[in-house]
Amino acid sequence: MRSLVLGALLAAGAAGAQTSPLPSFEGQVIYQVMPDRFADGTPDNNQGVNLDDPRAWHGGDLAGLTGKLDYIKALGATAVWLTPVYQQQTALTSGTAGYHGYWPADFRNVDPHFGTLADFGTFVKTAHDDGLKVVLDQVINHYGYEAAAVKVRPEWFTTDAECQASTDKDVDCPLAGLPNLKQSNPEVTDLLLGNDDFWRTQGVDAFRYDAIKHVERPFLKTLFARDRAAGTWTLGEWYDADTGTVADWQKAGLDSLFLFSLQAAMKASIMNGQGLDAVRAVLERQGELPRPGEVALFLDNHDLPRFAQGSLFEDVGRERTKYGLRALMTLRGVPVIWQGTEIAMRGGNDPDNRRQMRFEAQWTPDERAVYDVARGAIAARRASPALSRGTLALRPVPAALSGDLLLFTRVVDGQRVLAAWHNGKARRTYSLKLSGLGLSAADMAAAASLFAGQDAKLSVKGGYLHLSLPPQDAAAFPLP
Ligand SMILES: [Ca+2]
Ligand SMILES: [Ca+2]
């Protein structure tokens, strides 16, 4: 069923002539914010706030976020992705408030906890003045459980009988019991397309579409085509997407999706110490991707346990988060950093992974050290065209080293960078034949990693590449 519909989408895409460049975020670094858990700009809108309850509103708002754009810019991000800021259902469901934004009651209003539409405008203008792009989360699959529309417009939603009879239950049945929109209903189509236009008019540069696995395919085709025509970059969330799924949907008109399979592999390899073969296996499939430079790459997000949570020991979690952040900045794609990962915040499943963000004055020296690595790695990536936009080519290493050593080059306009991820538990020097790596390079004296504060070196002599690498870290070297 799915492949049949996708086939139709592909055919339609091929028929439409591409006259203008496709929307692109290649070279960007996105910072993900959940506004309720980020920064509280004013107590005036803190109805029902309880910082001791992880399922309650915590008071963060658009004024607070706007006030922290300097922080996001200083980290080095170039774009901000906000989880939804729509007006939410006011009732609790299962003891949980709509603080996360995924239980909309009115798609064209800002929830009073976050502020007003004017506050949103101020946020967008300030972000743009700071050179930051704005990515807004869009919910297109459902309303909140207690939204008035569910009772007022029952024909907009699938019934139990329709769900039972459906051959595509991912699409036609409720996700987590949420009132399931029928995107093929003309009124629903108009509503959702109009929502996009509404937020575009507010100055949004890109949309992150929630739960696209659960949305009717013909509607998605229409939606993505309209966004593309408007120059809006689109990022889809297909939970657990692997390279094949990302490739299918890029062909169908989405600019980007989150590559969940790479996140899982990085968590296993970097945080859980399982060797680098899982990461290599994902990267070996990058040739399937029509636009690898657009794919969204991440260590964690608001739906997954925190990256640092993968180790019982807080110091190990922090050190391996540094490794993960540096590794992320060597990859081809668009890195996305979830608020707090730059200080290795901990937290298990939702809502524990959404603890209140803490800023500089509240950090421990250890947290500041993680931040310094994050900022340095982002700066190195942005300063290097090869790391930002270069093609990625895996370099073979001897089988005995494959769990401990991952090598790839990033190349653009004749500039070359060699990325080296080292999973070994001790510092080690590797001497590898250049020809075995498929490389040639003139002799060069020892060069330092592009990542500041890292004791890693590369030299070339007599046809051999010599790498001196710290334990459990990722480095990047200029290659002449
Ligand atoms: Ca507030
Ligand atoms: Ca659905």
**Ligand 2 centroid to residue 136 C-alpha, Å:** 20
Ligand 2 centre from 158 Cα, in Å?
8
Kindly list the domain boundaries of the chain, sorted by start residue.
2-383, 389-479
- Element (DSSP H or E) covering residue 411: strand 405-412
Determine the distance separating the centroid of ligand 2 and the alpha carbon of 198, expressed in angstroms: 22
Q: Is the pLDDT of residue 6 over 80?
A: no
Q: 2-383 is classed in which CATH architecture?
A: Alpha-Beta Barrel (3.20)
CB 443 within 8 A of CB 479: no
Relative to the alpha carbon of 181, which ligand is closest? 2
Span from the CA of 214 to the centroid of ligand 2 (angstroms): 4
Query: Do the beta carbons of residue 124 and residue 203 sit within 8 Å?
Result: yes
In the beta sheet, which residues pair with residue 235?
208, 256
pLDDT of residue 20: 81
The predicted pLDDT at position 10 comes to: 45
Helices (H), 155-258: 160-165, 169-172, 186-201, 217-230, 243-251
Predicted confidence (pLDDT) at residue 3 exceeds the cutoff of 60: no
From residue 25, alpha-carbon distances to 44, 132, 135, 235, 397 in Å are 36, 12, 11, 10, 32
| Residue pLDDT, tens place only, 384-402 | 999 999 999 999 999 999 9
Burial 468-478 (b: 16+ CB within 10 A, else e): bbbebbbbbbb
| Domain 389-479 annotated CATH 1.10.3720.10 | no
Least confidently predicted of 5-9, 90-94, 294-298: 5-9
Give the ligand whose atoms come closest to the C-alpha of residue 215.
2
Residue type (1 letter), 106: D
Angle between helices 243-251 and 2-15 (to 10 degrees): 40
CA 434 / ligand 1 centre spacing (Å): 57
Q: Which ligand is nearest to the CA of 46?
A: 1
**From ligand 1's centre to the CA of 444, what distance in Å?**
56
Average pLDDT over residues 201-216: 98
- pLDDT by residue (tens digit) across 417-444? 999 999 999 999 999 999 999 999 999 9
Residue 7 has pLDDT above 60, yes or no: no
Residue owning tokens 């260590």:
299
| Unique residue bearing structure tokens 């509404």 | 198
Rounded to whole angstroms, the Cα distance separating 364 from 385 reads 33
**d(C-alpha 55, C-alpha 320), whole Å:** 29
Per the omega criterion (within 30 degrees of 0), is the bond before 398 cis?
Answer: no
By residue count, the chain amounts to 480
* Ligand closest to the CA atom of residue 175: 2
Establish whether domains 2-383 and 389-479 are of one fold.
no
CA of 63 from ligand 1 middle (Å) equals 8
Token code pair at residue 340: 């707090």
Give the Cβ contact number of residue 32 at 10 Å: 25
State in Å: Cα 135 to ligand 2 middle.
23
Q: What angle do CA 197, 199, 202 make, to 5 degrees?
A: 115
Tell me the pLDDT band of 216, cut-offs 50, 70 and 90. Answer: very high
- In angstroms, what is the span from residue 175 Cα to ligand 1's centroid? 30
Compute the distance from residue 245 Cα to the ligand 2 centre, in Å: 18
Q: Which ligand is nearest to the CA of 47?
A: 1
Query: Does residue 359 have a pLDDT over 50?
Result: yes
Q: What is the pLDDT of residue 17?
A: 52
Q: Which ligand is nearest to the CA of 112?
A: 1
Element (H, E) at 421: strand 415-422
What is the rounded CA–CA span in Å between residue 115 and residue 42?
A: 9
State residue 18's pLDDT score.
52
pTM: 0.95
CB count in 10 Å sphere of residue 81: 25
pLDDT, tens only, 362-392:
999 999 999 999 999 999 999 999 999 999 9
Contact 373, 350 (CB under 8 A): no
Ligand 2 mean position, distance from CA 352 (Å): 27
Q: How high is the pLDDT of residue 1? A: 39
Return d(Cα 127, Cα 134) in angstroms, integer. 7
Question: Which listed ligand is nearest to 51 at the C-alpha?
Answer: 1
For residue 163, which ligand has an atom nearest its CA? 2
Closest ligand (CA of 43): 1
Cβ atoms < 10 Å from Cβ of 342: 25
Mean pLDDT for the stretch of residues 135-147: 98
d(CA 183, CA 141) in angstroms, rounded, equals: 8
Distance 67 CA to ligand 2 centre (A): 36
Backbone phi, then psi, for 220, in 5-degree steps? Answer: -60, -40
CA of 176 to the centre of ligand 1 (A): 28
Residue 454 bridge partners (DSSP)? none
